[in-house]
Amino acid sequence: MTGKLCLMLDVDGVVVNGRPEDGLSWATDIANDLGVDPAGLQKAFFEPHWPDIVIGRKNLLDVLSACLPALAPSVTPQAFVDYWFENDSRLDDSVLADCDALRANGAAIFLASNQEHLRAKYLMDRLGLGKHVDGITYSAQIGAKKPDRAFFDAAVKRSGGSPQDLILVDDTIANVEAARAAGWRAAHWDRGSSLSRLVEAAFGNGMPQGR
């Protein structure tokens, strides 16, 4: 696919932005809705376990089975996951429209995200992102996360492209800098940015040709 634009698109903060109704954090009302203390969740679940979950070393449901009895005994791991994913699913329709337009012009688009297995599947299937992109490369799948160089090397191989034809659009500066260090082009995403304009600006007059 050398010579063809390949867009690598971050998910959270770019395509997906918090709760569907207001864009706030998925955990904003978790104390009232599930009886889970956010600080306790951070201490018992995210701090000790999330780094391993997000690179595929631990299973999300297994860890929740061990953690939830002390946090909210009546909440099952699946109920927790359902609440989390459903409340972290606000799509940016303008980004998806730009994805569709870029693909129609021959670009390949992959999600490139730090995700564990269940949410990656949820994003592609339940949220329907699979209809707008050619695939997903995510951290638990490859055993490395952004901004680690191993993530970018694996993403290049999975895309079938060349680093100079890839562009990462991401809302985290460290990820943008790491992509550039790996030989990619990259653009920092701010809320309200135009995806198509960022891509055009990154390539200037050297846009790879589509089909």
Weakest mean pLDDT among 1-15, 64-78, 174-188: 1-15
| Distance separating alpha carbons of residues 8 and 66, to the nearest angstrom | 35
Distance CA 179, CA 149 (A): 8
Torsions phi, psi for 171 (to 5 deg): -90, 5
Q: Which residue has the tokens 């690598």?
A: 8
Q: Is the pLDDT of residue 207 over 70?
A: no
In a domain, residue 197? The reply is yes
pLDDT above 60 for 205 = no
pTM above 0.85, yes or no: yes
Q: What is the CATH number of the domain that holds 157?
A: 3.40.50.1000
Residues 99 and 124 in one domain: yes
| Same-domain pairing of 78 and 52 | yes
Question: Which of 85-94, 98-107, 166-175, 194-203 has the weakest average pLDDT?
Answer: 194-203
Q: Please tell me the total count of domains within the chain.
A: 2
pLDDT digits (tens, 9 = 90+) for 5-62: 899 999 999 999 999 999 999 999 999 999 999 999 999 999 999 999 999 999 999 9
Q: How far apart are CA 103 and CA 203, in angstroms?
A: 16
Classify residue 122 by its DSSP letter: I
Q: Of 64, 86, 108, which residue is a domain's last?
A: 86
166 with 194, same domain: the answer is yes
Token duo for residue 128? 């329907």
Specify the DSSP class assigned to residue 201: H
Domain stops at, among 45, 70, 86: 86
Residue 51 within a domain: yes
Residue 23 burial (10 A CB sphere; 0-12, 13-18, 19+): exposed
Residue 90: per-residue pLDDT: 98
